[in-house]
Each structure stands twice: as C-alpha cells, then as structure tokens.
Amino acid sequence: MKKEGQIRIPSGCAIAAVISKDGKKMSGDLITQAMKPMHVRSNGLGGGFAGYGIYPEYKDFYALHMFFDDRSSRISCEAFLKEYFEIVHCERIPTRKMPQITDEPIVWRYFIAPLKSMLANLQLDEKELVSRIVMKINKEQNGTYVFSSGKNMGTFKAVGYPEDVGVFYKLEEYEGYSWTGHGRYPTNTPGWWGGAHPFTLLDYSVVHNGEISSYDANRRFIEMFGYKCTLQTDTEVITYIMDYLVRVQGLTLTEAANVVAAPFWSTIEGNPDYASRRQFTYLRTVFPSLLVTGPFSIVLGYTGGLMVLNDRLKLRSMVIAEKDDRVFIASEEAAIRTMEPNAGKLRAPKGGEPVIIQVKEGAY
Amino acid sequence: MGVDFIYPEFEVIRNESRCIACRVCERQCANEVHFFSPERGIMMSDETKCVDCQRCVSLCPTRALKIIRSDCALRENANWPDSTIKEIYRQASSGGVLLSSMGTPKAYPVYWDKIVINASQVTNPSIDPLREPMETRVTLGKKPDKIRRGEDGRIVYELPPQISLSMPILFSAMSYGSLSYNAHASLARAAEELGILYNTGEGGLHEDFYCYGPNTIVQVASGRFGVHMDYLKAGSAIEIKIGQGAKPGIGGHLPGTKIVGDISRTRMIPEGTDAISPAPHHDIYSIEDLRQLVFSLKEAINYSKPIIVKVAAVHNIAAIASGIARSGADIIAIDGIRGGTGAAPTRIRDNVGIPIELALAAVDQRLREEGIRNNVSLVIGGSVRSSTDVVKAIALGADACYIATSALLALGCHLCRTCHTGKCNWGIATQNPELVKRLNPDIGSKRLVNLMTAWRHEIMELMGGMGINSIEALRGNRLMLRGVGLTEKELEILGISHAGE
Amino acid sequence: MKRVYVDEQWCLGCHLCEYNCAFANSGLPDMVLALKGKPIYPRIHIEGHDKITYAVSCRHCEDPICVKSCIAGAISKDGEVVKIDRSRCVSCYTCILVCPYGALTPDENGVMQKCELCLENACGEPACVKGCPNRAIIYEERGEA
C-alpha cells in the first residue's frame, strides 16, 4: 500500500490548543487530556502535539525532531547535517513502551546551529537554509524524515490515538506556554508516522481538520518557491503557505489569513471602508492561487502565539474559550472543559475570521 | 464536367407533399441552390452549389427540406479516402493551394473528452451554488513577486495592469472583415453585458465600437492593419498576434473583394487591395525583438494595460512560452491545432501544430518549474466547446479560455466551413449587406449572453460538486482531473493520474 | 397600445410573415393543408425592392379613416383594435382607396380583410411577429400617440 506522500489521503480530525497570554508554562499532560473526550474524532491512525517554550536550555538552536527507519539512515543523515550545521546536542527522544503504540521508528532530536561559513557561502539567511535542508532531507533521503525544525519548540507525533501518543512521548515532562494537539481520522491506513499532525516548518506548526478542495492549486503554486510537498497533505501545504506569506512575503498573520480565507468578492465590495476594500482586493488579486477552499479549521502555532482560522464557509467546527491568562481552542467544547471546567467567553469564530492570540511581549 | 466533375457532396431532399412553394429557401440561399420552376409549379434545387449551411432547412416553415450527404461514392479505399481523392482532382484542376475554413475536421484526439472531473463524497462537502456564493471572477495580468511596504508599514498597493473578467472566458480574435459588422456588434455588446472581453482580431476597430473599449482587446498582428494611436488606447488590453492554431507559421489574406467601404477605412488600406498579413512580424525575428515590440506598445499606452502575446501551439511551445513570459508580456494566449479560422490553407490547418490540452499542460508545468508562472496569465483556445472544456482547461492550469467557434455557433453558424467564400447565409462571415443584415445583433448578443450564462451556471455546479467555491482554487488543480483511456505518456504530459488511481 | 412595428433594417424580405399570417388566419391545423397548392391572401405584405424590404400591415390608427369611409359600416374599432365584419363588406374597396398604408386587401373572393393582431385566431399573438427569423417585426407597447 502506498504511504503518505505517494498518494493523497483525505482525513477528518480533532483539534485542541491552549496558550497562556502571560507566557506561563503548562505541562504537556494538559493537552493530552484534552484529546480524550474527542476520541471518536480520531481512528487511531495518527496523533500528535506541538509545544512552544519547551526547550529553554537550547532556545537558540534549531531543534530537529527526526524519524529514522534504521541506524544507517541516522548515521548518513548526521553526516549530511554536519556539512551545514554544528550539532550542539543530540539524543534519542524519550518514549514509553506501550501496547497502544507499535512499529516505532528511531526517534531522535538534534539541536543545531547553521555554520556561518555555509550561510555566507550560500548567501542565505539562517531560516532559509534550515528550511531548504529540511525540504532536501524529506524529499531525497529515504528512511529519514524531519518532523520538527523550530527553535524552542517541538512536535511529537505517532500512529495511534492522540491521548496515547501524549503518554508515549512523556509529554507530562515538558513545560510550554502554548500547546496544540491533533487526532487524525484518515480514510485509509498508510500507518506512517510522518503522516500524523502537527505539521511544521521552522517554528510554524499547523494542526488542521478538513479536506481542502484547492489542494493541488495551492501545492503547484507554492512549489514554485522551493517548497516540496512530500506528504501530499493539506496540513503540509497550509504550513508552507503561511511560511511563504508571513516569512517570505512579510505579511502579517491577519493579512495572510485574508489571503488563505479571503472574503468573497461580494463581501469585499460591500465593505464600507475604502482602505480595507482596497487591501482585500489587492491581496486577492496578488495571491489568487493561495486561496484555500473546502472545509478546514486550523490552529497555526508560532513563537509567541497561535492563530485560529476557519474556511470562509465555516464548514468545520472550532470553538474558543478563555479563563484568566489562558485561551483554549478545540473542535469541541468538551475538550475545552477537560482542560478548564470553568472556561468562559465561549465563542465560535466566523468563517474566514482569523483569531490571533499573542503572548505578551517578553513573556516567551 | 468530364474529368473535373465531382459529384455534389450534399443532396437536397425536398418533401414534395410538404413544400408549399413559399420560396423562402430560394430567397435565403446565397448560393442559389433553390429555384422555382414556373412550368412545373414546384421548387427545384441545384445541389452542386449546396454547402450544407442549413439556412433553408432552418427557415422552411413546413419542414419540407433536409440536406443529406450524397451517397455517390468512389470505390472504397482505406488508403485513399474519398476526400483525399477529390482534393487531388481539385488541385489537378486548379493548380492551387486548397483553402478551408473553421477548425480542422480531422479526428485528432480531443483530450477534453478523455479527462473526467472529480466531485466530493463524504470527506468533504459539495457546495450548492444556489445557496452559497460561487465565484467565477478572474483577474488576468502579471502578479508582483514581492509585497512592498511603505515607511508607515502599510502595503503599497502597486500592481501591474490587470483585466478583470466575470468568468474565465473571452471571445477570441476574429477580425472585422472576416466577420460582419453585425457579428462584431453582437460580440461587443455581449462582452459588455457579460463583463468579459472580445477581441478585434487584425481588422482594426470600427469607429462604432470604440464605446465598447473597456470590453475590447485590440490586436496588433503582422500586417498592422488598422493600428494607430487611438486604436491602441481604445481597449483594455493589446494582443500581439504571432500565430493562430489553425495556421501556425503563416500569415493571413483577406481578398481585395472584401476590402470595401468601412472595412477598408477600418483597416486603413485602399479599397480593393488584398490585405496580406505576412507570416512573421517583420520586426520580430527573435525573442528579443518580441520584447522590444512589447515594450514599444507599453510605452505607447504608458504601461496602462496588459500586453497579450498570442502564439499557436507548436512542438516547442513550453520553451516558447517561457521565453514570452520573460519578454514583458502580461498574458500568453495559446491556440491549439483544432482552433478555427476564417480561411487557411487546408494542409496547414489539418497538419501543423499540437492539441491545446497538451500544450497547456506542458506550458503551465514548465512555467511553474521555472518559477515564472506568476509573471503571466495563461489564456488558451483552440476548440473550447463547453463549460466542461473550460473547467478542465482551468484545472490543467489556464487562467481563462478564448472561445470563437462556440460563439459563432451561438450566432447561428452551422459549421459548413465555407467562410472563405464570403457567402455566409447566416450573416456572420460575409460582407454582403443583404447577408449581413440576417444577423440582428439584438438577437445575436442575447444568444451569446445566454450561452455564457448557461456555461457559467454549469461551471458553478461543477465547482460546487468539487467543493470549490472560487475559480482561483480550481486553477492548476490537476488532482481534480483523471484521464480515461490515455497512455502513460499522455498522462505524464497532462500531469494527471488515470481514473482509478 | 401594443402594436406591430416593423424594423426595415432587419427585414430580410423572406416573406415568411405572409405565410405565417395566411396560415394563422386559415383556421386549419396544418400549414401544408392550409397553404399548399393555392395562392395565399395574407394580411401582411412585404413591400420594397432589391435594397430594402419591409412588412406592411394595419397600424390600428387612433382615428382610422377606413372606419369613417366604410359605406357598409363593416369596419369598426373594438377597443383599440380596428376590426372588420366581413359579412357586412360589400367589396366597394373604398377602404383600399383611403388607407394610407395599403393595409387592407381583398381575399380570394374579393371580400376585404385586414390584420386583427391574431387576437382571435388560434395563434393568439401576431403570427408574423412570432415567426420572423430576424426580429424585424415586433409587437410591443411604445407609448406614442
């Protein structure tokens, strides 16, 4: 059977996320628990999490989380990494043996710093180099897969139910100021760990529920700019789009959301405000191929914040609630209640309306 | 007679029991097929003149007429089909190049018909266009590579010139001269009402039609007929015509007999002179020359409108398009081998060029591989026959489609393929005032609007089925297509999977 | 009132209106049956020459001279429509002499007939308008006197 990347596999999903606006650290157990009431939204074929602020001791280094099929893949990949980076620290990611999670690959993490000489030589900035190398490994090195590559953040994912995946990776031992979680319901069974969410590039991580109908239009456009959609998943392409719009084109998150879930022309024309009409029109005209259609709800994680976004017709559920400094997001209210029974200000953002939760400056 | 004789291709079948001898057929046939015999008191026909345009059939009030293919056959021969043999007779008689009109009738593969479209089931909801917004608007033109921000941090809204269409269809270039005044009036009025564009072709722009400027593409072709400053400024875009799908590599020829009155004035050439467009533009012998013409035109109109470069789909089309995309053009138009024409040498029309589907797929993919797809919009033509052809073209990567034959059919054309005779009984491809008046633009424009409205509804239904609510999300979305009965190589070029994969 | 108007710009001189008129007023269900093998006596006529043609039929004048001139009182205004009671026509042809449009013509028996807008025959709307292939004959309200 073909695995993720050789074939496109639609899937439904469960999403949960939590963030402290004050940058207070929370244990990864919180997000693991949040996935439990949404058990039926997954089918045991993929679960994962992203935590931000979890590697304070290595915060200046890119943390690469990697799957290797075997030892030789790891050895050759390490040699390749050393051509571009200094490996500051590397280790096996601690996991628990448990009957619910099987067929595990070799899971390692590397904290790396790009070699200055290499940056000068290639005339690239750090982030561009890291993202290119990640793409290169994922495209070209069989048996090796980078599934996390940001600074002071990391993703943890596996084939299994998300609540088991959290236990497997011992998430209770990590402390982060924001967490996202994902349970997957793919329509067939590739059983490959790389196919689970979140999907990441640099410090952007995306958990996503939906099946976007614009996939190939988006993919073929974004691949013009050096991105390689090796997984053929919606999540992957949305991550690259956000990276392209925000990091490469310098759009704000809201502007990027207005490209991805652009208002309808009729809505734009009915907008009484000339300046916003002009901006919406401009963004739609310049980036028509990055409009994402079909159902989706996503939580985009980045250093210092989260962005929540629904497709413009709101074809997937997504609710937000708050308590004190914390904001909770989930596909279902039950997940929020598990994290914080007394959460208030419950609301469902409108289709296409981005909700951005930013941690206070300096608190992350 | 004798060795030159070719038995008439068609037979006029008149049902004597129904014919009331009203003589409408006689009055309506510019080829003078029908006539009344006072002696016998009945209608008669001279079938040698019949071109099967069906005008008489359509207007006969008692349905007394039909035209059928005559069955006087040469001895069957797979290697020497009837038509081939008769072409030899014609050439042996005339010593001339065979001329034809409209698109090739040869059975080249129609890839549109070997591609099927996707729809949502379970994992993704389809969208009902009657209940939800469904967007078909497209904007053509070069897109900026990089967003710029001003000192205040706000986006600078700079944009190369764009054209906006209510749906991804434009009426393709057909000159005033090859088409009648009323055909042009119909196209212009329909384009205005629909919020799309029509194209002057190489015949200049009649002074009456300057008012449709915002819905007009003005063409500059190798003959430069009718080109002057006001003309260049009149439209929403300028198209440099390098080639045409029906006759790649050759120019055009409008006989002097058609260069009369307004046509002569509009083309800016003396009455009665042949309008001969050279095969190449004699100021474009290479890609760098094209760049100069593109920028000359841009200078002339102060960079206010997009420049389209139209080429025929030929073998090396991907590389040619890539060159054009780097030459300053804002839009590339590609015309496939099945594209139509008012007149072309038969051999060229039937044998030169490649099918548009393959050209489109190859060009779109190549421009993406080179990272320059955003430099240009891609408009394709060459036999776009229905809303599904449009949907498939968009999903293969086109921004919009040019239609011409479909539009003429809406105006009444019955594809008899004798435009070059100038005796179009439907008032479309003729300059004879008696015939021209047969096309009332009130009717013509309404029928074009009807056709496009119908297609737009169908496009919206198809998009909704795929769960797509904006045409932008369909463009280049090749996963929405599958091939049926295509070879590995064809699938590879089209960039689609086979059905079942 | 709604009248039949003619736009000579689009008239092709095909004479279909005449045949449609004759058929509509024949009372027969089939055009072949109605018109085959006989001369037709339509209430609309194509006039003109090589360069220009147009259809002529009754204008339904506001103050019709034909009504005033009819010695038998056969022509009258029924609302806004000018009608003829053919049973009262004495074939004096005064109406032919006075009508400035030449809109009245005799039938095969010399009895006068004229366009009554097909309001009472099987067509129900002017057959000439319905059958005109180029919209050269139009039935509409133009609001002029």
Residue A1 binned pLDDT confidence (cut-offs 50, 70, 90): low
Q: In terms of Cα–Cα distance, which of A94, C2, A278, A55 is closest to B154?
A: A278
Domain-embedded: residue A255: yes
Domain-embedded: residue C132: yes
Region C35-53 average pLDDT: 92
The shortest C-alpha distance from B169 to chain A (Å) reads 17
Question: Which two structure tokens, joined as six digits, stand for B277?
Answer: 């467009």
Question: Which two structure tokens, joined as six digits, stand for A194?
Answer: 């790389």
Cα dihedral value A147, A150, A156, A157, nearest 10: -30
Q: How many CB pairs under 8 A join A and B?
A: 109
How many whole angstroms separate alpha carbon B8 and alpha carbon B246?
A: 26
Question: pLDDT at residue C8 above 50?
Answer: yes
Q: Per-residue DSSP letters for B339-363?
A: ---SSEEHHHHHHSS--HHHHHHHH
Region C54-60 average pLDDT: 94
Give the per-residue pLDDT at B446. Answer: 98
Task: Write out the catalytic residue numbers of A.
Answer: 13
Residue C29 sits in a domain whose CATH number is: 3.30.70.20
Q: Tell me, yes or no, whether C1 and C53 share the same domain.
A: yes
**Element holding A345 (H helix, E strand):** strand A344-347
**pLDDT tens, position by position, B2-35:** 888 999 999 999 999 999 999 999 999 999 999 9
3+ Cβ–Cβ pairs closer than 8 Å linking B and C: yes
Contacts of B124 in chain A (CB under 8 A): 10, 210-211, 213, 294-295
The shortest C-alpha distance from B387 to chain C (Å) reads 28
Contacts of B475 in chain A (CB under 8 A): 217, 288-289
**Which sign, positive or negative, has the C-alpha torsion C22, C27, C30, C35?**
negative
Q: Per-residue DSSP letters for A15-68?
A: EEEEEETT---EETHHHHHHHGGGGGG--SS-EEEEEES--GGGTTSEEEEEEE
Q: How far is CA B472 from the centre of its chain?
A: 23
Region C31-48 average pLDDT: 94
Domain range for A162: 21-358
B2-96 against B138-498: fold identical:
no
Domain range for C66: 61-100
* H helix count then E strand count, chain B: 15, 21
* Lookup result for tokens 């958990």: A207
Residue pair B196/B188 in contact by the 8 Å Cβ criterion: no
Interface test mutation site (partner B, options A286, A289, A314, max chain B beta carbons within 10 A): A286
Strand B237-241 and strand B307-312: the pairing is parallel
Strand A175-176 and strand A106-114: the pairing is unpaired
Mean pLDDT of chain B: 95
Cβ-defined contact of C9 to B437 (cutoff 8 Å) = yes
Interface test mutation site (partner B, options C6, C9, C14, C15, max chain B beta carbons within 10 A): C14
How many whole angstroms separate alpha carbon A322 and alpha carbon A3?
A: 39
Interface contact A216, partner B, CB < 8 A: yes
Region A125-139 average pLDDT: 92
Q: Tell me, yes or no, whether C28 and C69 share the same domain.
A: no
Domain count, chain C: 2
Q: Which residue of B has its CA nearest to A225?
A: B371
Q: In terms of Cα–Cα distance, which of B114, B110, B111, B121 is closest to B499?
A: B114
Better-predicted residue by pLDDT, B492 or A315: B492
B17, with CB counted inside 10 A (0-12, 13-18, 19+), is exposed
Interface contact B59, partner C, CB < 8 A: yes
Region B139-148 average pLDDT: 95
Interface contact B38, partner C, CB < 8 A: no
Residues 6 or more apart whose CB falls under 8 angstroms from that of A159 comprise A44, A45, A46, A47, A101, A103, A191, A192, A193, A195, A196
Question: pLDDT at residue B315 above 50?
Answer: yes
Residue A205: CA atoms inside 13 Å, Cβ hemisphere, count? 35
Lowest mean pLDDT among A66-75, A85-94, B120-129, B407-416: B120-129
Question: Which two structure tokens, joined as six digits, stand for B273?
Answer: 């002179």
Cα dist from A64 to A89, A93, A302, whole Å: 11, 11, 16
Q: In terms of Cα–Cα distance, which of A251, A183, A208, A161 is closest to A14?
A: A183
Question: pLDDT at residue A177 above 90?
Answer: yes
Interface contact A277, partner B, CB < 8 A: no
Would you kindly state where each structural domain of chain B is located, as residue ranges?
2-96, 138-498
Three-state DSSP state, B50? coil
**pLDDT tens, position by position, A294-306:** 999 999 999 999 9
Residue A338 sits in a domain whose CATH number is: 3.60.20.10
Domain-embedded: residue A15: no
**pLDDT tens, position by position, A306-358:** 999 999 999 899 999 999 999 999 999 999 999 999 999 999 999 999 999 99
Contacts of C14 in chain B (CB under 8 A): 24, 27-28, 59
Q: Tell me, yes or no, whether C5 and C45 share the same domain.
A: yes
Better-predicted residue by pLDDT, C123 or A287: A287
Cβ-defined contact of A214 to B468 (cutoff 8 Å) = yes
Residue B174 binned pLDDT confidence (cut-offs 50, 70, 90): very high
Cβ-defined contact of B478 to A187 (cutoff 8 Å) = no
Backbone angles phi, psi at B4, to 5 degrees: -80, -15
Q: In terms of Cα–Cα distance, which of B183, B141, B178 is closest to B160?
A: B141
Question: pLDDT at residue A10 above 70?
Answer: no
Cβ-defined contact of C134 to B59 (cutoff 8 Å) = no
Residue A141 binned pLDDT confidence (cut-offs 50, 70, 90): confident
Question: Which two structure tokens, joined as six digits, stand for A159?
Answer: 């084939």
A99, with CB counted inside 10 A (0-12, 13-18, 19+), is exposed
Percent of chain B with pLDDT over 70: 100
Question: Which two structure tokens, joined as six digits, stand for B483?
Answer: 């091939």
Percent of chain A with pLDDT over 90: 78
How many whole angstroms separate alpha carbon B436 and alpha carbon B429?
A: 8
A77: left (phi over 0), alpha (psi -120 to 50) or beta: alpha
Query: From the list A187, A213, A251, which residue is nearest B468 (CB)?
Result: A213
How many whole angstroms separate alpha carbon A160 and alpha carbon A98?
A: 11
**Element holding B482 (H helix, E strand):** strand B481-483
Question: pLDDT at residue B470 above 80?
Answer: yes
The shortest C-alpha distance from C11 to chain B (Å) reads 8
Residue B72: CA atoms inside 13 Å, Cβ hemisphere, count? 10
Region B437-446 average pLDDT: 97
Region A223-227 average pLDDT: 93
CATH level 2 (architecture), domain B138-498: Alpha-Beta Barrel (3.20)
Cβ-defined contact of A249 to B147 (cutoff 8 Å) = yes
Residue pair B391/B463 in contact by the 8 Å Cβ criterion: yes
Query: From the list B127, B133, B397, which residue is nearest A266 (CB)?
Result: B133
Enumerate long-range contacts of B487-494, CB under 8 Å, 24 or more apart: B490/B111, B490/B114, B490/B358, B493/B358, B493/B361, B493/B362, B494/B111, B494/B115, B494/B357, B494/B358, B494/B361, B494/B396
Question: Which two structure tokens, joined as six digits, stand for C32?
Answer: 């072949």
Domain count, chain A: 1
- Which residues does C contribute to its contact with B (CB < 8 Å)? 9-10, 12-16, 19-20, 23, 31-32, 35-37, 131, 133-136
State the CB neighbour count (10 A cutoff) for residue A304. 20
How many whole angstroms separate alpha carbon A114 and alpha carbon B141?
A: 40
* H helix count then E strand count, chain C: 5, 8
Enumerate long-range contacts of A129-135, CB under 8 Å, 24 or more apart: A129/A84, A130/A62, A130/A202, A131/A201, A131/A202, A131/A243, A132/A226, A133/A81, A133/A84, A133/A85, A134/A64, A134/A201, A135/A226, A135/A227, A135/A228, A135/A230
- Outline where A43-161 has alpha helix (H): 71-84, 116-122, 126-140
Question: pLDDT at residue A187 above 80?
Answer: no
Interface contact A270, partner B, CB < 8 A: no
Contacts of B150 in chain A (CB under 8 A): none
The CATH number for B2-96, chosen from 3.30.300.30, 3.40.50.1110, 3.30.70.20, 2.40.110.10, is: 3.30.70.20
- Which residues does B contribute to its contact with A (CB < 8 Å)? 120, 123-125, 127, 132-133, 135, 137-139, 143-144, 146-147, 149, 155, 157, 159, 162, 368, 371, 373-374, 397, 466-470, 472-480
Give the per-residue pLDDT at C145. Answer: 47
Better-predicted residue by pLDDT, B172 or B203: B172
Give the per-residue pLDDT at B275. Answer: 87
Three-state DSSP state, B195? coil
Cβ-defined contact of B440 to C131 (cutoff 8 Å) = no
Q: In terms of Cα–Cα distance, which of B379, C119, B414, B395 is closest to A214?
A: B395
Region A30-53 average pLDDT: 91
Q: How far is CA B167 from the centre of its chain?
A: 17
**pLDDT tens, position by position, A259-279:** 999 999 999 999 999 999 999
Q: Tell me, yes or no, whether C5 and C49 share the same domain.
A: yes
Mean pLDDT of chain A: 91
User: What residues pair up with A151 in beta bridges, in sequence order?
Assistant: A62
Residue pair B278/B223 in contact by the 8 Å Cβ criterion: yes
How many whole angstroms separate alpha carbon A245 and alpha carbon A264?
A: 20
Region A157-168 average pLDDT: 93
Region B33-41 average pLDDT: 95
Region B242-265 average pLDDT: 89
Give the per-residue pLDDT at A233. Answer: 82
Region B40-48 average pLDDT: 94
Query: From the list B17, B24, B437, which residue is nearest C16 (CB)?
Result: B24
Q: Tell me, yes or no, whether C5 and C46 share the same domain.
A: yes
Chains with ≥3 CB–CB distances under 8 Å to A:
B
Give the per-residue pLDDT at A4. Answer: 66
Question: pLDDT at residue B254 above 90?
Answer: no
Residue B1 binned pLDDT confidence (cut-offs 50, 70, 90): low
* Lookup result for tokens 């097929």: B33
Region B248-263 average pLDDT: 86
Region A191-210 average pLDDT: 87
Give the per-residue pLDDT at A87. Answer: 94
Q: Tell me, yes or no, whether C52 and C120 share the same domain.
A: yes
Residue pair A17/A329 in contact by the 8 Å Cβ criterion: yes
Give the per-residue pLDDT at A363. Answer: 82
Strand segments (E) across B382-474:
400-403
